[in-house]
Amino acid sequence: MASFILRKAEPKDVSDILRLIKELAKYEEMEDQVVLTEKGHTVVGFAMYYFTYDPWIGKLLYLEDFYVMKEYRGYGMGSEILKKLSHTAVKTRCSSMHFIVAEWNKPSIEFYKRRGASDLSSEEGWRLFKIDKQYLVKMSSEE
C-alpha cells in the first residue's frame, strides 16, 4: 500500500484544493463552470462535506465533492478518505451520508456501491432539482 497522510484541510491548502476542484470539474466535463483561480501542487485528493438535517432521518453528513487525482487512484486513498468520513459521521451521530454521482460516472458508482451505498434515484424515485439565482431573485421580489 502507498504511503500517504490523511488530514483535515488547512488555510495553506487552498491552492491545492482549488486545483483539485478544477480537475474534478474537468473529469465531470464541466471545467468551464469553475471561475476561481490559484496555482499549486502537493495535495492529491480531497473531500468537501457538511452536516445537514433531514426531518425523517435526522442529522446526516452530505458529501459535496470527493476526488483523488487519476494517477493516485488504486492505492487506497479514496477508501481511507471515505473511512475517515464514515468515522466522522458516526462520531457526530449522523444517521447516514448522502451525495450525488453523475449517471455516466460508473467507476465512482461502483466504488460507492461496493461500500454499501444505495442509489436513491432508482430505489426510491427521488430526483434532484435546482432553482437558479435569477429565479430565486424573481421569486424573492414578488409581492
Element housing 45 (H / E): strand 45-54
d(CA 127, CA 47): 23
Residue 52 DSSP class: E
User: What is the bridge-based pairing of β-strands 45-54 and 96-98?
Assistant: unpaired
Place of cell 460508473: 106
Active-site choice (67, 72, 112, 135):
112
Q: Can you tell me the distance from the alpha carbon of 70 to that of 105, in angstroms, rounded to the nearest whole number?
A: 14
Give the C-alpha separation, 69 to 84, whole Å.
18
Active site residue 53: no
AA identity, residue 118 = S
Q: Residue 85: in which H helix or E strand, if any?
A: helix 77-91
Q: Which residues are catalytic?
A: 112
